[in-house]
Chain A
Amino acid sequence: MKAQTLKGHLDGLLLAVLADGPAHGYSVISALRDRSNGEFDLPEGTVYPALHRLEKAGLLSSSWSADAPRRRRVYAITPAGERSLRQRRTEWRGFTSAVDAVLGSAA
C-alpha cells in the first residue's frame, strides 16, 4: 500500500500498535507490517517523525531504554493517547460501515 494512502491513518495505526504495550521504533514498524500482512510497507524511516509528533502532542511518551545493547528509544501510549485511539476507532467504524453500505450494495 502506498504511503499516500496511509496518510491520515498512520497516527491511529501507531497508537493501536502501542496500545498493546511499550515498544521501540523498529518493533512498532515490524508490528505494523506483520499485522497488515505486509500491506503497510512504507519507507520505515519516515515513521519516526510521526512518532515524534505524537509524542509532542502528548499522545505518546518515550524514554531511552537502559537494558538495550545500544541507545534505544522506547515509546508508550499515554492516557490521552488511549482516549484519542478510542475516538479514532469509533470514527473509523462509522466510516467503514458507511462505505460498506454503499460499496456492498453493488454486489
Chain B
Amino acid sequence: MSGQRLIDDYLGRLERELTLPRRLRARVLAEAEDHLLCAVADLVSDGRAPVDAEREALARHGSVEDIAGSHARARSTRATVRTTTGVVASVGSFGALFVATTQVPAVHAGIPATAVTSGAAGVMGWIAVQLALSCGALAVIRCHRLRGQAAARAGALRLANRSASTAVAAIALSLLLDLAAFVRMPAGQGQHAALVFGLVLLALAASAGTVAQLAFAQRRLRALERYGSEPAEEDAFDDVCDALLAIARMLAGVPFIRRVAPLAELVARRALTAGSPVARVLRDHPLRFGATVALLAGLLASGGHLVAEGPPSNVARALLVVAIIAGIEGLAVFGCYALFGRFLGIRGVSRACAPR
C-alpha cells in the first residue's frame, strides 16, 4: 500500500470507529490528518523514505482503537460527572419535601390523614426515602471524586451511574405514593396541600431531568465499554473516607466544632487507615458492616420515635417500642444492603465492578 493511502485508510478506519457527534468527529479527523502529515514531513526531512515515514508516523499516533477509546473515556467521564447536578437537584428537592411534611409541625398538621400513606405503602415510602437519600449521597460522593479525574475507569462510571439511578428510582417510587395519596384526598382539604403538591412536582421535574442525564451518561458508557471495561479502583471504604472528608470540610466552618476538629481528624485518620479494623470490616466482612449499619439505623429510628412521641408509660413498654422499631428498621436496612449492595458496589467490589 502506498504512503498516502496508508494515512487515508487509517483516517477512514478512525472515522468509522469514533463515537462522537459529527462536528467533533470532523475536528478530531482534521487534527489527526494535520498531525500525521506534519510527522511524515519531519521524518522525511530526517532522511526516511516516504513510505517508512508514514508507517512510523501512524505507529507513533497509536492504534485507531486507542484513539477512539481515549475520546470515549473522556466523554463518558464528563457525562457521568454532569449527572451530579441532577442528583443534587432531585435529592435536594425530595429532601425539602420530606422535611416540610415530617418536620414542620404546621405543614404536618395541615395534611389530612387521607393524604398520608399508611400500611404497606407507608413502610415502602419510608424505605424509599432512606434508599433515595443514601444512594443520592453515594452518587454525589462518587461523581465528585470523578470530577478530579481526566478519564475514569468504566467500572467507576458504572457504579456512579448505578447509585444515581437507584436514588432516582427510589425518589420516583416515594413521590408516586405521595401523589396517589393526594389524588385520593377530597378537594378543599389540607391547608398546605398546594405547597406539598408543588414540592412533589418540583422533585418529579428534577428527577425527570436526572433520568435524561443518566440516559445520556449510560449511552456514553456503552460506547466506552467497547474498548474495555476495567473495574473501579475505589471501593466502599474509599466511599466512606470521601464522605467523612466532605462532612469534615463542611463542619470545619462551624464555630464550636472547629475547636475539636483537629482531634476529630486524628481519630478519623486512625480509624480510616488501610489496615484499621474499620477498613478490614468494610473490605473483608461486608455482611458484618451491613448488620452494624442496620443496627445503628434501627437504634437511631427508635430513639427518634421516642423523642418525637414522648417516653412511654413504663420501661417495659419503652423496650418493646425500641425492639419493634429497631427490628423493622434494621431488617429493612439489612434487606436493602443485601439486595442492592453488590449492584451498588458497596458489598464486595469484585463482582459489582468486574469486567463483563
- Interface of A with B (CB < 8 Å)? 7-8, 10-11, 24-27, 29-30, 43-46, 48-50, 52-53, 56, 68, 70-73
B35 and A26 form a contact (CB under 8 A): yes
Give the distance in Å from the alpha carbon of A27 to the alpha carbon of B73 in the complex.
Answer: 24
Given contacts A26-B39, A45-B62, contact A72 B74 (CB under 8 A): no
Chosen A-B contacts, 16 in total, with CB atoms closer than 8 Å, are A7-B150, A10-B150, A24-B34, A30-B42, A43-B60, A43-B63, A44-B35, A45-B61, A46-B66, A48-B67, A49-B71, A68-B34, A70-B33, A70-B34, A71-B33, A73-B34
A26 and B38 form a contact (CB under 8 A): yes
B35 and A71 form a contact (CB under 8 A): no
Q: Which residues of B contact A25 (CB under 8 A)?
A: 31, 34-35
Q: Which residues of B contact A50 (CB under 8 A)?
A: 74, 150
A71 and B66 form a contact (CB under 8 A): no
B60 and A49 form a contact (CB under 8 A): no
As a 0/1 sequence over residues 14 to 47 of chain B, the CB contacts with chain A under 8 angstroms (1 = contact) are: 0000000000000110111111011100100000
Given A26-B34, A44-B61, 10 other A-B residues pairs in contact with their CB atoms under 8 A = A43-B60, A43-B66, A45-B32, A45-B66, A45-B70, A46-B67, A48-B28, A49-B71, A70-B37, A71-B34
Give the distance in Å from the alpha carbon of A43 to the alpha carbon of B32 in the complex.
Answer: 12
180-239 of chain B: CB within 8 A of chain A = none
Q: Which residues of B contact A48 (CB under 8 A)?
A: 28, 31-32, 35, 67, 71
- Interface of B with A (CB < 8 Å)? 27-28, 30-35, 37-39, 42, 60-63, 66-67, 70-71, 73-74, 78, 150-151
Give the distance in Å from the alpha carbon of A50 to the alpha carbon of B34 in the complex.
Answer: 17
> In the assembled complex, how far is the CB of residue A6 from the closest CB belonging to chain B, in whole angstroms?
11
> In the assembled complex, how far is the CB of residue B92 from the closest CB belonging to chain A, in whole angstroms?
25
> In the assembled complex, how far is the CB of residue A34 from the closest CB belonging to chain B, in whole angstroms?
11
Given contacts A49-B73, A49-B151, contact A43 B62 (CB under 8 A): yes
B62 and A44 form a contact (CB under 8 A): yes
Give the distance in Å from the alpha carbon of A44 to the alpha carbon of B34 in the complex.
Answer: 12
Q: Which residues of A contact B30 (CB under 8 A)?
A: 70-73
Q: Which residues of B contact A53 (CB under 8 A)?
A: 74, 78, 150-151
- Nearest-neighbor residue (CB-CB) of B58 within chain A: A45
Interface centre among A50, A56, A68, A71 (most CB of B within 10 A): A71
Name the contact of A49 in the complex, choosing from B38, B42, B70 (C-beta under 8 A). B70
Q: Which residues of B contact A72 (CB under 8 A)?
A: 30, 34
> In the assembled complex, how far is the CB of residue B141 from the closest CB belonging to chain A, in whole angstroms?
20
Q: Which residues of B contact A73 (CB under 8 A)?
A: 27, 30-31, 34
Q: Which residues of A contact B34 (CB under 8 A)?
A: 24-26, 68, 70-73
Name the contact of B150 in the complex, choosing from A11, A24, A26, A44 (C-beta under 8 A). A11
- Nearest-neighbor residue (CB-CB) of A26 within chain B: B38
Give the distance in Å from the alpha carbon of A10 to the alpha carbon of B39 in the complex.
Answer: 21
Give the distance in Å from the alpha carbon of A48 to the alpha carbon of B35 in the complex.
Answer: 10
Give the distance in Å from the alpha carbon of A27 to the alpha carbon of B41 in the complex.
Answer: 13
> In the assembled complex, how far is the CB of residue B228 from the closest CB belonging to chain A, in whole angstroms?
14
Q: Which residues of A contact B38 (CB under 8 A)?
A: 26-27
